[in-house]
Amino acid sequence: MRKIAMFDTTLRDGEQTVGVNFSIAEKVKIAKQLQNWGVDVIEAGFPIASPNDFQSVQAISRALSTTRVTGLARMKQKDIDACIKATADSKNKQIHVFIATSPIHRSAKLHMSKAQVLHEIDEKVRYAKQYFDIVQFSPEDATRTEPGFLVQACQTAIDAGATVINIADTVGYSNPAEFGATFDNLIQHIQSPHKITYSAHCHNDLGMATANAMAAIEHGADRIEGTVNGIGERAGNTALEEVAAQIKVRQDYYQCATNIDMKQTKATSDMISEFAKIPVPKNKAVIGPFAFSHESGIHQDGYLKNHQTYEILTPESVGMKHTQIPLGKLSGSHAVHERLAQIGYTVTPEQMRIIFPKFKAFADQVALVSNDDLEQIMSSCEMKVAK
């Protein structure tokens, strides 16, 4: 089965979330957990950016036994040298070099012509290749780059020795159809004597990060970059747990697999949430507590009859405890009966006909009905109920 590799950049792009600053000890713990979770590559930091980043890439390079480690570098020799030093002790490493290719970045930020950008790519990829077997090239803001120039930039990197081409939707500008077409165009026009791994790096500015990543997979990308819980610059990055869950749940459609151990997902998510001090939104796909809660009577009844009516993923499969059936004004008698049984009441259908209207009247006034509330409703019914 086709394998989709997961490249985790929680420690680099994820740390670009406003207010997030992981300590080196936290980064090493996160990297070990990411290794347990099953990611294939960990971007441990941007070694030139700060002493903390340099030391954490170094510490993670020493701590990990199997997962590949990378550092990030601009097209600058000093950045590449910092990556060489920081990853020196790694058993499995690569380098990730990038430069912006879009007109706005070329003119406003880099002050470079197209020819100068191509020259930098050629020179610095060749330099990096002397030290790393695997050189990954990312055209930053690729999705706002002229398609022809994007092909030229990637071809230049490949001719200089790059084996991974990572298409960055840096400002979350693309959409699934357009992003897929970007991969089609690259794969059709790029020539290489060796195998190229195409990769996608998406941001969530318009809420498309996961959808765009999935489109990339459908159009030839064998690797997805992202972060745990989708943290990252501005609106964040592709949430890797969402991609892993899509591939697992919709294997019939995508016909591929990852190395992710889904049962480790909650533990991984909790660790990032704790160290980043960013709570996971309650309704977050895959790992939010509400992802496995059923509120309305119709859904509760369906779920109680057959879980698969309203759950395509089980909480246990992602390491969460169990499904919640909260009781509220929309709950039906099936869910109330079930909860009464859980707290010890054996209620007959006749008794339920008296209890349920009282429950409804109470539930209409509150957000949620607790077990204590249920006990009170039961005592107000003044009937003999087996307990």
Q: Which of 56, 70, 101, 138 binds ligand KIV (CB under 6 A)?
A: 138
Which one, 143 or 246, has the nearer CB to Zn ion? 143
The least CB distance from residue 46 to Zn ion, in Å, is 11
Distance, CA of 225 to CA of 240 (rounded, Å): 8
State yes or no: residue 105 binds ligand KIV (CB under 6 A). Answer: no
| Residue 15 binding result from ligand KIV, Zn ion, none, given CB thresholds of 5 to 8 Å by partner type | none
Which one, 143 or 351, has the nearer CB to Zn ion? 143
* Residue spans of alpha helices (H) in 223-264: 240-249, 251-254
305 CA to centre of own chain: 32
Q: What is the DSSP letter of 11?
A: T
Q: Which of 8, 53, 120, 140 binds ligand KIV (CB under 6 A)?
A: 140
The least CB distance from residue 16 to Zn ion, in Å, is 7
Which one, 165 or 325, has the nearer CB to ligand KIV? 165
The least CB distance from residue 87 to Zn ion, in Å, is 20
DSSP strand pairing (5-8 vs 2-3): unpaired
Task: Provide the residue type at 240 as one letter.
Answer: L
Distance, CA of 57 to CA of 87 (rounded, Å): 7
Distance, CA of 130 to CA of 85 (rounded, Å): 14
- State the distance between the two ends of the chain, measured CA to CA, in whole angstroms: 53
State yes or no: residue 215 binds ligand KIV (CB under 6 A). Answer: no
Residues 324-383 that bind ligand KIV (CB under 6 A): none
Q: Are 311 and 290 in contact (CB under 8 A)?
A: no
The least CB distance from residue 77 to ligand KIV, in Å, is 18
Phi and psi (nearest 5°) for 254? -85, -25
Task: Provide the residue type at 231 as one letter.
Answer: I
Which one, 98 or 127, has the nearer CB to ligand KIV? 98
The least CB distance from residue 76 to Zn ion, in Å, is 18
Q: Which of 156, 170, 265, 331 binds ligand KIV (CB under 6 A)?
A: 170
Angle, helix 240-249 to helix 209-218, in steps of 10 degrees: 50
Count other Cβ atoms within 10 Å, centred on residue 305.
Answer: 10
State yes or no: residue 149 binds ligand KIV (CB under 6 A). Answer: no
What is the length of the chain? Answer: 387
Residues 82-101 that bind ligand KIV (CB under 6 A): 98
x/- mask, ligand KIV, residues 26-65, rule CB under 6 A, reads: ----------------------------------------
State yes or no: residue 303 binds ligand KIV (CB under 6 A). Answer: no
The residue whose two tokens read 């077997």 is: 133
Q: Which of 8, 13, 53, 141 binds Zn ion (CB under 5 A)?
A: 13
Q: Which of 216, 302, 232, 230 lies closest to 268, judged by CA?
A: 230
Distance, CA of 315 to CA of 323 (rounded, Å): 6
Where on the chain is the footprint of Zn ion (CB under 5 A)? Answer: 13
Where on the chain is the footprint of ligand KIV (CB under 6 A)? Answer: 13, 72, 98, 138, 140, 168, 170, 201, 203
